[in-house]
Structure formats: structure tokens, C-alpha cells
């Protein structure tokens, strides 16, 4: 595939490395070349099989709108824009475009989401729920998109949104804890990322899965369909 990468931060750099390892051609579009998504022109996107975005919440909406307008398949790993989900979904469906987003592209985290959904039934049996997430000091959004996903998953099961505590310190890749506490015992479910490679691998595999499709997808709903 011919992939265009937006975002050259820690995760974006790994996405480039993983994509090349998997035999893809990778082009980079720097933020200076793409203010407000203006670098994502029809000419620039010609021949591009997929765009992968790991930028920031300030620019991702413009990037998505440009890819939707040009009907270029897009994988979005950037978080912090989910208040606009209904709007973006409408635009994707109206244009016949393809967009796949996820709060976390780690397969392990998405397995964790399923475990959290199963554990949330404890709330109806008297358990109190709390979410704690810890990330590196440079992370711009708080709470993390992953923590919000866990919160929404618990809410779907228990009709209650647990409080999220966010910690920003050091160079922590990402730790998420779902705590379920009762008078009799405590359950603590933990996902601790050792590195960012899992995020990168998931994003590249998502781009491979999205090729040839149209529609609006969440990684959590399709990750079991990914190839190796």
C-alpha cells in the first residue's frame, strides 16, 4: 500500500517503521506543510491508499475533513475530538468515504475493553467503579481517549459513568486501571503498555483492513477481523 503519515511524534515514527517492515511505501506530510489540512489536496492524495493520523486535537478535524472530501481512506489514532463524532460520521456517510478511528490501536487494550465490559456487571451487585489513567507529561489531552472509552463501556453495561483520575508524569507510555471496590473485596484490572509498538502495529493493520471499504468504523468493533 501507499500510505501517507500525518504526525511524526513518538507513535507516528513507529507507525512509519512498522509500515515499512510490512512492505508498504510510506510518505510523510509535516505539520508545516499542512496547516488546517490545506496540504491534503486532491493532487497530494492521488495514488494514496490510506492516511494514518497521529497528530493532535487542534488539527485532526481539518485533516479528517480533507480526507473525507477527497474520499481517501483514513485511520485516526489522534484523540481529543470525540465531541465531533456525530458530525464526522455524517460527513463520511454522505461522501461515501472511509474512516476508522480508535482511542487505542493496541490489540491488548481492545481485549481489555472486553474484559472491562464483563467486569462492569459488578456495579449492579454493589461495587463502586473508578478509572485511573497515567501517561507521560507531554500528553495533551486529559482524560485519555482510552480512559473515556473504558468509562463509556462501563456506562453501557451499568448505566453509570465512573470517575476518571488522570496523572501526567515522566515518560509513562500508558497505564489504565479499572477499580471495582466493595465492602468485601476489590477487583483491579490493569493494562500497562510496555512501549508504543502495539499502537503502531494496530494502526497499520487497521489501514490494511480499511483498504477497499467505505463507511465509518471504530477499531474496538473490528479488531477481531484484522489479519496478522
In the annotation, is 139 catalytic? yes
Strands 175-181 and 163-168: unpaired
What gap in Å lies between CA 102 and CA 202, rounded to an integer?
10
In the annotation, is 84 catalytic? no
Chain Cα centroid distance, residue 95:
22
**Contact present, 5 and 30 (Cβ < 8 Å):** no
- Crossing angle of helices 145-158 and 107-119, in 10° steps, is 30
Residue carrying C-alpha cell 468504523: 217
Catalytic member of 84, 135, 191, 213: 135
Catalytic member of 8, 10, 84, 139: 139
Sign of the dihedral through C-alpha 70, 107, 26, 139: positive
Kindly list the distances between the CA atom of residue 35 and the CA atoms of 26, 141, 150, 183, 192, in Å, as whole numbers in the listed order: 20, 20, 32, 54, 34
Looking at residue 47, the DSSP 8-state letter turns out to be: T
Active site (catalytic) residues: 135, 139
Amino acid at each position: 500500500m501507499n500510505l501517507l503519515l500525518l504526525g511524526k511524534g513518538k507513535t507516528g515514527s513507529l507507525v512509519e517503521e512498522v509500515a515499512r517492515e510490512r512492505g508498504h511505501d510510506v510518505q510523510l506530510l509535516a505539520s508545516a506543510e499542512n496547516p488546517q489540512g490545506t496540504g491534503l489536496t486532491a493532487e497530494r492524495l492521488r495514488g494514496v491508499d490510506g492516511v494514518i493520523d497521529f497528530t493532535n486535537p487542534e488539527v485532526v478535524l481539518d485533516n479528517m475533513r480533507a480526507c473525507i472530501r477527497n474520499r481517501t481512506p483514513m485511520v485516526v489514532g489522534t484523540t481529543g475530538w470525540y465531541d465531533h463524532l456525530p458530525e464526522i460520521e455524517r460527513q463520511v456517510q454522505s461522501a461515501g468515504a472511509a474512516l476508522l478511528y480508535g482511542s487505542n490501536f493496541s490489540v491488548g487494550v481492545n481485549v481489555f475493553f472486553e474484559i472491562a465490559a464483563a467486569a462492569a456487571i459488578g456495579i449492579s451487585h454493589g461495587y463502586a467503579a473508578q478509572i485511573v489513567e497515567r501517561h507521560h507529561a507531554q500528553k495533551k489531552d486529559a482524560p485519555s481517549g482510552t480512559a473515556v472509552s473504558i468509562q463509556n463501556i462501563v456506562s453501557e453495561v451499568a448505566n453509570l459513568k465512573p470517575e476518571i483520575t488522570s496523572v501526567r508524569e515522566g515518560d509513562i507510555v500508558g497505564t489504565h486501571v479499572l477499580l471495582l471496590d466493595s465492602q468485601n473485596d476489590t477487583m483491579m484490572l490493569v493494562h500497562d503498555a510496555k512501549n508504543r509498538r502495539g499502537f503502531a502495529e494496530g494502526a497499520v493493520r487497521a489501514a490494511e483492513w480499511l483498504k477497499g471499504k467505505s463507511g465509518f468504523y471504530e477499531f474496538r468493533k473490528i479488531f477481531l477481523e484484522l489479519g496478522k
